[in-house]
Structure 1
Amino acid sequence: MRLPRTAHTSRSWRIHEIANDFRVDDVWALPTPGGPDDLARLVRQFTNGDPAQASHLSSPVPRMLFATRWKLGKLLGWDKPGVGVGTRVPTLRDRLPADLRDGPRGPDFRAVPFTSIYQTHDEWAAEMANRTVHAVMHIGWVPDGAGGYRGQMAVLVKPNGPLGVVYMAAIKPFRYAGVYPAMLRAIGRKWQADNDEKSPA
């Protein structure tokens, strides 16, 4: 379920200290009900998956959208070496206060170009950059209002000039119609499947 930006901005997340020049683009409630200490499990689910095998990419629309995006990126040089984190833009890890810098960094993704910035008990942030944008995926672990907890995902962006602004505007309808709904369903199915495996027969 899509949430208002205030669902992210009203919370005292540490990400506000290091990414206050980024725009909050989207906030989503994740279908991942759990207990107070389950963020680390959700992070593992995110980072251990292989996007090529992900269930949301088995649907025709997201598969077509991702294929088109990668082809355009290759044709226009959006993703070539030298335009990512550490080259075109410095990593946000350079902005971390000492306690976050010395704490857990969190795992990197196995098969997508996001790298972890930091992880705490209730927050995890990862970043990526290309020629169009510098983006942060922030996963928080929040009370669900019914005595439990769930994940909450925010996407923060800093477009790279006019190209980035046009690019973000152009892909917005496709993300809302095809990518996010399928991705959230896939996250929920995987979370529930892991719950079922852990439940006694």
Structure 2
Amino acid sequence: MRLPRTAHTSRPWRIHEIAGDFHVEDVWDLPTPGGPDDLRHLVRQITEGAGDGIAADAPAYRALFAIRWKLGALLGWDKPGAGVGGRVRSLRDRMPPDLREAPRGPDPRAIPFRSLYQLHDEWAAEMANRTVHAVMHIGWVPDGKGGHHGRMAVLVKPNGPFGAVYMAGIKPFRYVGVYPALLRGIGRAWQANAAARSAG
């Protein structure tokens, strides 16, 4: 379910300390019911899943991202010099000492993000190219009924006017093709992994 930006900005996440100049683009509740200590399982699903954790098994999702990566290759959007450590500095450079000393967390295998930090209730990863510098933030929040679930926020810092136009241009595709498939895939994988989580 899509949520207002305040569902992210009103919570005391540590990401606010280092990404205050980023725009909160999207906030979604994830279909991942669990207990208070289950964020680590969701992070593992997203980072280690060979596609199932991020819905890469959905044809529309695969097609849209295949087109995007092809365009990026043709137009040079994703060259190494355009990424983190090239065009932009990593947000890790802004982190206070206690956050820098916290566990970094794993890097996702199937998407081009680098982990920034992983806490008990919060995980963040970043990526950059010639269009944007972006953060995927996964928080673990109470559901008001005694349980918890994941909440995903996407924060972006467009690269000038071109980046802003790019973000506006892909918005319909994100809402029609990407996010619905992403949330379904996350929910399916979460259900499929229920027995493994219970076993520890």
Q: What is the distance in 2 between the residues matched to 1:48 and 1:199?
A: 18
Q: What corresponds to 2:6 in structure 1?
A: 6
> Which deviates more from structure 2 when the two are superposed, residues 57-66 or residues 11-20?
57-66
The 3 A distance-change label for structure 1 pair 37 and 54 is closer
Q: What corresponds to 1:135 in structure 2?
A: 134
Q: What is the distance in 1 between the residues matched to 2:3 and 2:124?
A: 18
Question: What's the CA shift string for 1:80-133, capped at 9, x where partnerless?
Answer: 121000110000000011111111111111232100001111000000000000
Q: What is the distance in 2 between the residues matched to 1:80 and 1:143?
A: 40
Amino acid at match of 2:19: A
Q: What is the distance in 2 between the residues matched to 1:104 and 1:60?
A: 35
Q: Percent identity?
A: 73
Amino acid at match of 1:38: D
After TM superposition, give the deviation of residue 2 of structure 1 in Å. Answer: 0.4
Question: What's the CA shift string for 1:116-154, capped at 9, x where partnerless?
Answer: 001111000000000000000000000011110000000
Q: What is the distance in 1 between the residues matched to 2:81 and 2:54?
A: 31
CA RMSD of aligned residues (A): 1.5
Question: What's the CA shift string for 1:28-83, capped at 9, x where partnerless?
Answer: 000000000111111111100223x6673333322221111011001100001210
Aligned residue runs from structure 1 range 32-51, under 5 A: 32-51=32-51
TM-score (norm 2): 0.95
Q: What is the distance in 1 between the residues matched to 2:62 and 2:37?
A: 33
The 3 A distance-change label for structure 1 pair 55 and 35 is closer
Q: What is the distance in 2 between the residues matched to 1:28 and 1:101?
A: 27
Q: What is the distance in 1 between the residues matched to 2:166 and 2:114?
A: 22
The 3 A distance-change label for structure 1 pair 8 and 77 is same
> Which deviates more from structure 2 when the two are superposed, residues 89-98 or residues 106-115?
106-115
Cα pair 2:46 2:53 within 8 Å, conserved:
no
Q: Secondary structure at the match of 2:172?
A: helix
Q: Secondary structure at the match of 2:42?
A: helix
TM-score (norm 1): 0.95
Q: What is the distance in 2 between the residues matched to 1:124 and 1:66?
A: 23
- Which residues of structure 2 form unaligned runs of 5+? none
Q: What corresponds to 1:22 in structure 2?
A: 22
After TM superposition, give the deviation of residue 10 of structure 1 in Å. Answer: 0.4
The 3 A distance-change label for structure 1 pair 107 and 199 is closer
Q: Secondary structure at the match of 2:125?
A: strand
Q: What corresponds to 2:64 in structure 1?
A: 65
Q: What corresponds to 1:158 in structure 2?
A: 157
